[in-house]
Chains A and B, each alone.
Chain A
Amino acid sequence: MKVNTMAEMMANGETPDILFWVGCAGSFDQRAQKITKAFATILHKVGLKYAILGKEEACTGDPARRAGNEFLFQMMAYQNIQTLNAYNIKKIVTTCPHCFNTLKNEYPELGGNYEVIHHTTLLQQLINEGKIVLKEGGSFKGKKISYHDSCYLGRANDIYEAPRKVLEALDAELVEMKRCRTNGLCCGAGGAQMFKEDEPGDKRINIDRADEALETGAKFIAAACPFCNTMMSDGVKNREKEAEVAVLDIAEMIAESMA
Chain B
Amino acid sequence: MQYIQQVLFLVMAISAIAFFSKKVAEIRRNIFLGKSEDLSDNPGIRWKNVLLLAMGQRKMFKNIPVAIMHFIIYAGFIIINIEVLEIVLDGLLGTHRLFLPYLGEFYGWLINIFEWLAFGVIVVCVVFLARRNWINIKRLVNKDLNGWPKTDANFILITEIVLMSLFLTMNATDQVLQTRGDAHYMNTGSFVISSQLMPLFAGLSDSALIAIERSAWWIHIVGIFAFLNYLPYSKHLHIALAFPNAYYAKLDSVGKMKNMPEVQNEVLYAMQPELAPANAAPPASFGAKDVFDLSWKNLLDAYSCTECGRCTAECPANSTGKLLSPRKIMMATRDRLEDVGKNINQNKSFVADQKSLLHDYISVEELRACTTCNACVEACPVSISPLDIIVELRRSLIMEESNAPQEWNGTFSNIENNFAPWKFSPDDRDKWATEMASQ
Contact B253 A199 (CB under 8 A): no
Give chain A nearest CB distance to B254 CB in angstroms: 6
| Cβ–Cβ contact A1 & B322, under 8 A | no
* Cα–Cα, bound, A199→B427 (Å): 34
A195 to B271, CA, bound (A): 28
**Per-residue interface assignment for chain A, residues 195 to 210, with 1 indicating a CB less than 8 Å from any chain B CB and 0 otherwise:** 1111111111100110
Interface string of B353-389 (1 = CB under 8 A from A): 0000000000001001111111101100000000000
Interface residue A64 (Cβ < 8 Å from any Cβ of B):
yes
Q: Look across to chain A and name the residue whose beta carbon is closest to the beta carbon of B436.
A: A1
User: Pick the contact of A78 from B62, B268, B373 — CB < 8 Å?
Assistant: B268
With contacts A3-B430, A78-B267 taken as known, whether A195 is within 8 angstroms of B411 at the C-beta atoms is yes
Q: Is A9 an interface residue (CB 8 A)?
A: no
Contact A155 B254 (CB under 8 A): yes
- Partner among B254, B256, B371 whose Cβ is within 8 Å of the Cβ of A191: B371
**Cβ–Cβ contact B378 & A192, under 8 A:** no
Min C-beta distance of A174 to chain B, whole Å: 22
Cα distance, A161 to B52, chains bound together (Å): 23
Say yes or no: is A152 at the interface (Cβ < 8 Å to chain B): yes
Quick check: B321 and A202 within 8 Å, CB to CB? yes
A109 within 8 A of B: yes
Measured as residues with beta carbon below 8 angstroms from the partner, the interface class of chain A is: 35 or more
- Flag whether B391 is at the interface (Cβ < 8 A): yes
A66 and B372 contact, Cβ closer than 8 Å, known pairs A61-B415, A196-B407: yes
Task: Find chain A residues with CB under 8 A from B439 CB.
Answer: 1
CB interface residues, B 413-439, toward A, < 8 Å: 415-416, 419-422, 424, 426-433, 435-437, 439
B397 to chain A, nearest CB (A): 6
Contact B436 A3 (CB under 8 A): yes
Question: Complex formed: what's the CA distance from A157 to B373 in Å?
Answer: 12
B277 to chain A: closest CB distance in Å? 18
Which residues of chain B come closer than 8 Å to A33, judged between CB atoms?
Answer: 432
**Residue numbers in A under 8 Å from B432 (CB-CB):** 22, 26-27, 33, 36-37
Task: Tell me the complex Cα distance, A33–B394, Å.
Answer: 31
- The number of residues on chain B lying at the interface, defined by a beta carbon within 8 Å of a beta carbon of chain A, is 70
Given A151-B373, A157-B255, A191-B371, also A71-B399 (CB < 8 A): yes
Distance in Å: Cβ of A22 to nearest Cβ of chain B: 8
Q: Secondary structure at chain B's binding surface: helix, strand, loop or mixed?
A: helix
Q: Does the CB pair A37–B436 fall under 8 Å?
A: yes
Q: Are A63 and B411 in contact (CB under 8 A)?
A: yes
User: B residues within 8 A CB of A1?
Assistant: 436-437, 439
Pick the residue among A28, A156, A184 that contacts B424 (CB under 8 A). Answer: A28
With contact pairs A59-B420, A208-B316 given, residues A193 and B371 touching in the complex (Cβ less than 8 Å): yes
A-B contact pairs, 28 of them (CB 8 A): A2-B436, A3-B433, A3-B436, A5-B430, A27-B428, A28-B420, A40-B436, A52-B430, A58-B419, A59-B415, A68-B399, A70-B399, A72-B415, A75-B416, A78-B267, A101-B253, A151-B372, A151-B374, A157-B255, A186-B371, A186-B373, A192-B411, A194-B421, A196-B408, A198-B322, A199-B368, A200-B323, A201-B321
Residues of A with Cβ closer than 8 Å to B? Answer: 1-3, 5, 22, 24, 26-29, 33, 36-37, 40-41, 52, 54-55, 57-59, 61, 63-72, 74-76, 78, 101, 104-106, 109-110, 151-152, 155-158, 182-186, 188-205, 208-209
CB-CB nearest 10 A-B residue pairs? A156-B255, A202-B321, A68-B394, A191-B372, A68-B398, A201-B321, A186-B373, A58-B419, A105-B256, A3-B433
A-B contact sample (12 more), CB < 8 A, given A71-B263, A72-B415, A196-B408: A24-B419, A24-B422, A37-B435, A55-B429, A68-B397, A68-B398, A68-B404, A155-B375, A186-B316, A197-B407, A199-B324, A201-B320
